Amino acid sequence: MRQVHVENISKAIAEAVIEANTNLPGDIKDALQGALERESLASASNCLQIILENAQIAVCEKVALCQDTGLVAVNIELGQEVHIVGGELEGAVNQGIRDGYQRGYLRKSVVNDPFDRINTGDNTPAIIHIHLVAGDGLHMTVFPKGAGSENMGQLAMLKPSAGMEGVKKFILKVVREAGGNPCPPIIVGVGVGGNMEKAALLAKQALFREVGQKSSRPELAAIEEEMLVQINAMGIGVQGLGGDTTALAVNIETYPTHIACLPVAVSLGCHCTRRVTVDL
Amino acid sequence: MKIIKAPLSTEDIEQLKMGEEVLVEGVIYVARDAAHKKMVQSIQVGEDLPFDLQGQLIYYAGPCPAPPGKVIGSAGPTTSGRMDAYAPLFIERGLKGMIGKGPRDKGVIESMQKYGAVYLAAVGGAGAYLAQRILAADIVAYPELGPESILKLTVKDFPCIVAIDSQGNDIYDRPNGSEKK
């Protein structure tokens, strides 16, 4: 059994949340640069320039890209040959978030209860998903997601007869209703199949796929491209202010489902979609 | 680019047209969800507000804490739609402008037309960039609300686009764009 001390987990999570909040992933930067080169509306170009400059300022000055430094989702793939020592895993993750948000001057945006709504003051608790896997690895992804985009996600339990056309209609409906709220240009994460919560998890997982990387299933890759073209033709544009750039990517993930189910979830990632992976 | 001085004059507001890019300069107040709720409660019981709304611009934001040597942390706009329930009452009481991101509902737009107010959109998610345009930040009220406290900001060259003007022209109101609620 390989031993991993909780202090190392906390330390890695603290560094990861600071990194995620200050350094925009390279694939998103490249996609924004590409969008700037294609954009035909002057005011949208100006916004894209500000967004790219913002990423530069954030990384150079170590300040948050966006003031909404999010509620942190942490996905953990824990090898079954790993023995966590010195404490418990979820406590260590939350301690890392507490430390990172304090040290990184990141905003604390978590309230204790959906009705009482008292700020917990340290951005915990995180949303933690743990999967036990083979081997002795410890793979963690941190995903601090702001509420502007999170609030625009939707889920539908379609009838199987709705098929691919129904899924496409739902994707377009969610993007249209979201308009400028999720801070376009957005990344559209789509989860199809499984059950209710699996579809939502798949949609989030889809946001983790790098922009430009298509689905490994050619028929889905074609749908992703078709959706991207149709979404960009809607004219919502950067920040909802019009123009050619509404989405940078549409990523679709699937899973086996029940004979009577066709769940579909759409999660929207803002132009500041922050994600960092750590291996311990 | 056109510079507009905050607090806003009636002439400034009348001249601002939807789609116009502007740079805001002067004093603005930061308030978002919880602060709006508290201010509305104060109005209902007849208490004084933490600041006089007359002629003012409210910036919908909840900044990050200020790192050492800086006046404020990352400070971009938040989604304005969440303040739609409160905004008409503030506009009726003299508020002349709002800075945020995303569309507003009919009630807000009608109040803006009736009392002469303007809604400006700043670039969401550009908090590091916008923080550099903030020269001073002081807590005015509700420190217990943490990131939702009311702040008084001094800004310069703060880039915005006129999203909804005082005639009710709405940049978000496009055939294929965001749907009206």
A63 touches chain B (CB under 8 A): yes
Nearest to A179 among B65, B126, B177 (CB): B177
Give me the phi and psi of A150, to 5 degrees please. Answer: -60, -40
H or E element that contains B70? none
What is the reported pLDDT for B180? 42
pLDDT tens-place string over residues A161-208: 999 999 999 999 999 999 999 999 999 999 999 999 999 999 999 999
Please report, as a single letter, which amino acid is at residue A271.
Answer: H
Name every chain A residue with its beta carbon within 8 A of the beta carbon of B61.
Answer: 67
Mean pLDDT of chain B: 93
Q: Residues B35-51: pLDDT tens digits?
A: 999 999 999 999 999 99
Of A108, A148, A242, the CB nearest to B146: A108
Please report where in the chains the tokens 């709405």 appear, as a residue: B170
Distance (Å) from the C-alpha of residue B177 to the closest C-alpha of chain A? Answer: 5
What is the rounded CA–CA span in Å between residue B34 and residue B40? 10
Handedness of CA B36, B87, A54, B155 (dihedral sign): negative
B126 and A179 within 8 Å at the Cβ level: the answer is no
Nearest to B125 among A107, A121, A270 (CB): A270
Q: In this predicted structure, what is the pLDDT of residue B181? A: 38
Hey, is A196 helix, strand or coil?
helix
Express as a percent the part of chain A with pLDDT over 70.
100
Count the Cβ atoms, other than its own, within 10 Å of residue B15: 15
A64 and B127 within 8 Å at the Cβ level: the answer is yes
Cis peptide before B77 (omega within 30 of 0): no
Tell me the C-alpha to C-alpha distance, in Å, between residue B41 and each of B36, B37, B48, B52: 9, 6, 11, 15
Nearest to B54 by CA among B24, B108, B97: B97
Sequence ranges of the domains in chain A: 2-20+65-145, 148-277
Check if B36 is active-site.
Answer: yes
Residues of B in contact with A233 (CB under 8 A): 176
**Contact residues on chain B for A148, CB-CB shorter than 8 A:** 78-79, 101-102, 124-125
Q: Does domain B2-164 have CATH number 1.20.58.2050?
A: no
Q: Find the CB nearest B179 among A47, A55, A179.
A: A179
pLDDT in tens, A132-145: 999 999 999 999 99
- Determine which one of B4, B24, B35, B36 is catalytic: B36
Question: How many residues comprise chain B?
Answer: 181
Chain centre distance of CA B49: 17
Mutating which of B18, B133, B178, B179 best tests the A interface, going by the most A Cβ atoms within 10 A?
A: B178
> Tens digits of per-residue pLDDT, A247-262?
999 999 999 999 999 9
Whether A178 and chain B come into contact, CB under 8 Å, resolves to yes
pLDDT at A10: 98
* Mean pLDDT confidence for B133-138: 97
User: What angle, 0 to 180 degrees and rounded to 10, lies between the N-to-C axes of helices A218-232 and A163-178?
Assistant: 30
Task: Give the distance, in angstroms, between the CA of residue A277 and the centroid of all CA atoms in the same chain.
Answer: 12
**How many beta carbons lie within 10 A of that of residue A265, not counting itself?**
28
Could you give the CA distance from residue B21 to residue A50 in angstroms, rounded to a whole number? 13
Residues from chain B that touch A150, judged by Cβ atoms under 8 A, are none
**Separation of CA A214 from chain center:** 17
Query: What is the rounded CA–CA span in Å between residue A58 and residue A45?
Result: 20
Report the C-alpha gap between A259 and B140 in whole angstroms. 59
Q: Which of B65, B74, B145 sits opposite A65 (nearest CB)?
A: B74
Alpha carbons B8 and B112: distance in angstroms, whole number = 14
Concatenated DSSP letters of A21-80: HHS--HHHHHHHHHHHHH---HHHHHHHHHHHHHHHHHHHHT--SSS---EEEEEEEEET
Is the pLDDT at B178 greater than 60, yes or no? no
Q: Does A167 touch chain B (CB under 8 A)?
A: no
Report d(CA A87, CA A5) in Å as an integer: 8
Q: Which residue from B minimizes the CA distance to A175?
A: B178
In A, residues 111-130, which contact B (CB 8 Å cutoff)?
117, 119, 121
Q: What percent of chain B has pLDDT over 70?
A: 96
Paired residues of A140 in beta bridges: A76, A278
Predicted pLDDT of residue B174: 72
Nearest-5° Cα angle at B102, B97 to B105: 75
A chain contacts of residue B162, beta-carbon cutoff 8 Å: none
Whether the predicted pLDDT of B175 surpasses 80 = no
